[in-house]
A and B are shown apart, each in its own frame.
Chain A
Amino acid sequence: MDISFILIQLLNGLQYGLLLFLVASGLTLVFGIMGIINLAHGSFYMVGAYLAFSLSAMTGSLLLAVLLGVVLSVVLGIVLERLLFRHLYQRDHLYQVLLTYGLILVFEELRSIIWGDDVHGVAIPALLNFSLPLTDTLSYPVYRLAISGVCLALALGMYVLIQKTRLGMMIRAGASNREMVQSLGINIKLIYTLVFALGVALAAFAGMIAAPVSSVFPNMGAQVLIICFVVVVIGGIGSVRGALLAAILIGMADTFGKVLVPEFAGMTIYVLMALVLLWRPEGLFKRA
């Protein structure tokens, strides 16, 4: 195992971690800040991937597909919040679990009706469809590096939105005391609708830009759901910074787990979670 091998594996871990952050970022908002347990987060991710597949075939451009898809998923988020989630904020978490589990089944069935059960692929935009040679046998796909860049930009954007803007302040205030914020004359219902729609859009966006590397297939949402919760829990509920750090830690643990202890690769991220929770039961960063 020479130094360049380790460096490339570090890059793999970082790159995977950033992708995980992208998928988990919507959940950080909805679960971490609004306090809703949203099991359907993976379904929104899947919807995004399928939208990218259909829309890029229709428009011939992934960029256009992503723009359209984000708009559609914001609309989806608003509709779901108005019709369903709004009624459950005051209820027990169990109701949210039931509702969102139901949504998983509904979205899977709709997916089956609309798109069928085939595996689909989405083409990588021609501009980014090449690889940088790293060693004589291995190259690195540029699209993956581009995803990493997008993830970093998004992490920064979310941090600024929540910590530095007036809207972010209202969101945080609403999260800690709904009634108080409302009695100060702030339309908390509207804010919650916006945050939820943003969460859906982030999940769908993750699905859209991950689609060219992950392929598009049934149940793809279920695969990312658990790891998203792991990211949010390790990072500390409600912390964007924590989620970013946790995602990168998990990326590293998964990568080096596969290389160093392949027999136990399935366990490494959960061992990491257990250790972090023993050390800091509230996650790496508490709610800011």
Chain B
Amino acid sequence: MSDKDKMGIDRREFLLNGAALAGATALGMLPSGLALAQSARVRVGLMLPYTGTYAQLGVAITNGLKLAIQENGNKLGGREVEYFTVDDESDPAKAPENANKLVQRDKVDVLVGTVHSGVAMGMVKVARESGTLLIIPNAGADAATGPLCAPNIFRTSFTNWQPSYPMGKVLADRGMKNVVTMAWKYGAGEEAINGFKEGFTKAGGKIVKELWLPFPNVEFQPLLTEIASLKPDAVFVFFAGGGAAKLIKDWQAAGLKGKIPLFGSGFLTDGVLDAVGDAAEGMETTLHYADSLDIPKDKSFRLAYAKTFKLQPDVYAVQGYDAGQLLVLGAKAVNGDFGKKNEIIAAMEKAVIDSPRGKWTMSKAHNPVQDIYLRKVVGKENRYVSVAHKALADPARGCKMG
């Protein structure tokens, strides 16, 4: 198939280049192998979901990344770019194999991916073993920039801890003392709840009860009944996608809306506002991006994105765009010579990313140090309210770097 064709062409190209180089060096015309590095294209491996539940997120990230590189004249450090794409199907079982395909067969210079945390952990493993540069444009598993952090692993999105932690202080500052939490019992859910719990108890609040649902169960009724009888000051939840939409509607139908306030990290209300009608109106969440941000870069990004892809960008597109920007910066520092890995890493560590979400820098564990916004649902927008936490860095527990 096309994979084979590609390999064939690549091998031929490689042989031609190699032969030319050998001839040239034999004649003493070239000082080093520099010419080879400069003439070949930068090989960027995209391992993202293009089918299944997360397909749209994969597309948004790809679009964002390509837009950033396109704005750099479709080049990285002066060299043309070639993309190698693998659909990871959000299947953790296939993750190491898929990542190895890109690293070993396609010999990519940099690996970009992915959305699903389980798959991302597989990529982290391959990146740690092969030393390939890895940029994670979404998956929030704390461990990737925690115990498993590595010099060649960067993230341009968030840790699951990060968007939830600031909400603790926000609620405590409003005089709320007793809060119930509710989430799916799986990695991201537990990490998000831990983040909130840490922020809330540190600010003097108390978690009355932690409620859990097996993932991806969405029968909330028994838990809503329990919340109604506990009567807490507020409820903090972590849900996303279809489950989030259902919770918001069930919350209203159970008569809890207006009686017990419901809060969450921003994934609760991102991408579901069309589905829930007015049930989400007035809900407040925390995230590293928001609608109606007063940031010039955000306005120009939104315009360019809409023009190029005939789509409205979302937080995932922003994360992909920033992965592209990070790559542009890294490649520029070494003039496109991806052999100089240490110099690229050094440049990426020092990078200040001019992101649509606002400027951010890299933490020592290679995760964004970024502002977390408090947003409120107004109509079909997650409108910016205030900065819930300025320049928040993940604690990166267990990371030995830096």
Query: Chain A interface (Cβ within 8 Å of chain B)?
Result: 2, 5, 8-9, 12-13, 15-16, 108-109, 112, 116-121, 123, 131, 133, 135, 137-141, 143-144, 213-220, 223, 254-256, 258-259, 262-263, 265-266
Contact = CB atoms under 8 A, between A and B. Distances in A.
B223 A258 contact: yes
B255 A265 contact: no
A215 B229 contact: no
A53 to B, nearest CB: 10
Instruction: Please indicate which of the listed interface residues B218, B223, B225, B253 has the most CB atoms of chain A within 10 Å of its own CB.
Output: B225
Contacts of B249: 121, 213, 215
A228 to B, nearest CB: 14
A217 B245 contact: yes
B254 A215 contact: no
Contacts of B215: 266
15 contacts: A2-B229, A9-B225, A117-B56, A118-B274, A137-B255, A137-B256, A141-B254, A144-B221, A213-B246, A213-B249, A213-B250, A214-B246, A215-B276, A265-B185, A265-B213
Most chain B CB inside 10 Å of its own CB: which residue of A9, A13, A120, A258: A258
A215 B275 contact: yes
Interface of B: 51-53, 55-56, 185, 210-219, 221-226, 228-229, 231, 241-242, 245-246, 249-250, 253-256, 259-260, 271-272, 274-277
A143 B222 contact: no
Nearest to A137: B228
Nearest to B57: A117
Contacts of B256: 137-138
A215 B243 CA distance: 8
Contact of B185 (A108, A220, A259, A266): A266
B253 A5 contact: no
Given A119-B242, A121-B245, A213-B250, A259 B222 contact: yes
- Please list the 6 inter-chain residue pairs (A to B) with the smallest Cβ-Cβ separation, ordered nearest first: A266-B214, A139-B255, A217-B242, A138-B228, A141-B253, A121-B275
Contacts of B225: 5, 8-9, 12, 138, 259
A207 to B, nearest CB: 13
A265 B53 contact: no
A12 B221 contact: yes
Given A117-B55, A119-B272, A220 B224 contact: no
A265 B246 contact: no
B341 to A, nearest CB: 36
Contacts of A214: 218, 246
Given A112-B51, A138-B224, A215 B255 contact: no
Point out which of B221, B242, B250 has the most chain A C-beta atoms below 10 A from its C-beta: B221
